[in-house]
Amino acid sequence: MDLLFTLLATVVALGLLVTIHEYGHFWVARRCGVKVLRFSIGFGPALYSWHDRHGTEFVIAGIPLGGYVKMLDEREAPVDADQLDQAFNRKSVKQRIAIVAAGPVANFLLAIVAFWIIAVVGITTIAPVTGPIEPGSIAERAGLVEGLEILEVDGNATPSWHDVNLQLVRRLGETGELRILAREGENAPRSYTLQLDSWLRGADQPDPMEALGLSTWRPVIAPLIDQLSPQGAAERAGLQAGDLILAINGEPVQDWMGQVVPRIQASGGEPLELTLERAGRTLSITLTPDVREQDGRQVGFIGAGIAPFEWPEHMVRQIDYNPLVAIPVAVVKTWDMTVLTLDSLKKMVTGLVSAKNLSGPITIAKVAGASAKSGLESFLSFIAYLSISLGVLNLLPIPVLDGGHLVYYVAEWIRGKPLSERIQGWGLQIGLTLIVGVMLFAIYNDISRLGN
């Protein structure tokens, strides 16, 4: 069932992104007077097709990994004399630039809409208050302590840990000063300067928070079992709802998130001796956590949970905007993520960020499924981020991509005539080689993560 849900979420996400991208090309082409022969979502044999009154064939194909808009073009097939004015190649260079650029622009507009919906609906988040600081870490050397609420990173507001992480990701591979503005309780904010030196340069799967020595503050939650999964490791071992875990392998525990969960996750497949309190008496049971993959590593789990708990009221943040104010918020968010994507690509090319962080369809599918399960806000955020990535990648000046075509048309605009067929042919071959190489490398990274 999980696999089916993941596949469905992936198809919905990719289908939406491809449809919006191709519709951008289609919409502008129609307004420039170009005859569109086919609008296809997916490749391969058609599963379903129909024609509109303009004669355009709309196709839903069997391989949902892309799509295309096929236009009337003399370079691809002979065109009747009475339709020459509708051929793409007969349009002005400005019109062709507009048609090609419309696809990526549509992706950025989709991201703005997604972020706008999130801003209007609103999200409930937890204030980014620091937990225990790792001794000897960058954070400790800068003077950071437990209980600080992080207000800004490098001058950018951080109302949630998600925002903190995004700002930290911007600094991967860099050397210099990282500035954090934080406050303790109601005290006045104070600035902290963290020294970075080729920070996480080339790391395969960087964890910015851990690398700085930061952790998230959590309330102490008693390890009182409330829920059990049928046939899970906890139920098989005899654990019952209402049991209070007192110790693991003889070591006392008092906090579910801070002590019990990390111990279980680190002990997949290894027997643990649990000391419990049940109905006023003490007993011991042996529990062996099951194992599953999480974030590319094997972790233990027992199929048990505690009762829902509430965060302190002063730490809960409700972030929402009225529909008008949400528009610039969504535009700025899209711009920031676009700049971050470009910066990450630059760092990947220069070696500051490991190319092993490049992800392919398997990782995209896993993230799509996980975000869909997490709720509307997470799935919309995933759609927005992926749409921005698609828009940025398509604008790269690589032949085959929209950006490569834009380079050709801009060169034609400047020169007053198109580049030679031979130069365009060379560019096509180089572009295909690059794209296929990057795709294969991304798939290799996906498989490597599965193997790990």
CATH of residue 264's domain is: 2.30.42.10
Token pair for 312: 């302190």
Q: Which of 22, 74, 76, 184 is catalytic?
A: 22
Q: Can you give the pLDDT at residue 375?
A: 78
Checking if the pLDDT of 367 tops 80, the result is no
Same domain, 208 and 232: no
Q: pLDDT tens for residues 300-309? A: 899 998 888 8
Same domain, 128 and 196: yes
Query: Distance between CA atoms of 17 and 389, rounded to whole angstroms?
Result: 11
Q: Can you give the pLDDT at residue 292?
A: 84
Same domain, 194 and 169: yes
Query: Of 319, 344, 366, which residue is a domain's last?
Result: 319
How many structural domains does the chain have?
A: 2
Same domain, 272 and 134: no
Does 11 reside within a domain? no
Same domain, 315 and 183: yes
Q: Can you give the pLDDT at residue 445?
A: 64
**Between residues 421 and 133, the one the model is more confident about:** 133
The owner of tokens 């395969």 is 204
22 has catalytic annotation: yes
Same domain, 149 and 203: yes
% pLDDT > 90, the chain = 53
Does 396 reside within a domain? no
Same domain, 182 and 268: no
Does 62 reside within a domain? no
| Structural domain boundaries enclosing 269 | 225-308
Same domain, 243 and 208: no
Does 87 reside within a domain? no
Q: Annotate 175-189 with DSSP letters as a single string.
A: -EEEEEEEEETTSPP
Q: pLDDT tens for residues 380-398? A: 998 999 999 999 999 988 8
Residue 274 phi/psi, 5-degree rounding, is -100, 130
Does 283 reside within a domain? yes
Q: Mean pLDDT across the stretch 11-20?
A: 87
Contact criterion met (CB below 8 Å) for 134 and 215: yes
Checking if the pLDDT of 2 tops 70, the result is no
Same domain, 269 and 213: no
Query: Of 319, 343, 368, which residue is a domain's last?
Result: 319
Q: Can you give the pLDDT at residue 205?
A: 78
Does 100 reside within a domain? no
**Between residues 296 and 298, the one the model is more confident about:** 298
Same domain, 160 and 198: yes
**Between residues 373 and 33, the one the model is more confident about:** 33
How is residue 317 annotated by DSSP? E
- According to DSSP, the residues that pair with 124 across neighbouring strands are 318
**Between residues 39 and 293, the one the model is more confident about:** 39
Q: Mean pLDDT across the stretch 404-432?
A: 84
In Å, what is the CA distance from 431 to each residue of 342, 398, 421, 449? 19, 5, 15, 27
Residues 6+ apart with CB under 8 A from 78: none
Of the pLDDT bands very low, low, confident and very high (cuts 50, 70, 90), residue 91 is very high
Q: Can you give the pLDDT at residue 77?
A: 87
Does 181 reside within a domain? yes
The angle subtended at Cα 12 by Cα 10 and Cα 13, nearest 5°, is 65
In Å, what is the CA distance from 67 to each residue of 58, 111, 290, 333? 11, 19, 42, 27
Does 263 reside within a domain? yes
The whole-chain average pLDDT of the chain stands at 88
Same domain, 209 and 148: yes
Q: Can you give the pLDDT at residue 119?
A: 94
Q: pLDDT tens for residues 139-193? A: 999 999 999 999 999 999 999 998 999 999 999 999 999 999 999 988 899 999 9
Same domain, 195 and 275: no
Query: Of 252, 284, 319, which residue is a domain's last?
Result: 319
Q: How many CB atoms lie within 10 A of CB 433?
A: 12
Q: Can you give the pLDDT at residue 313?
A: 86
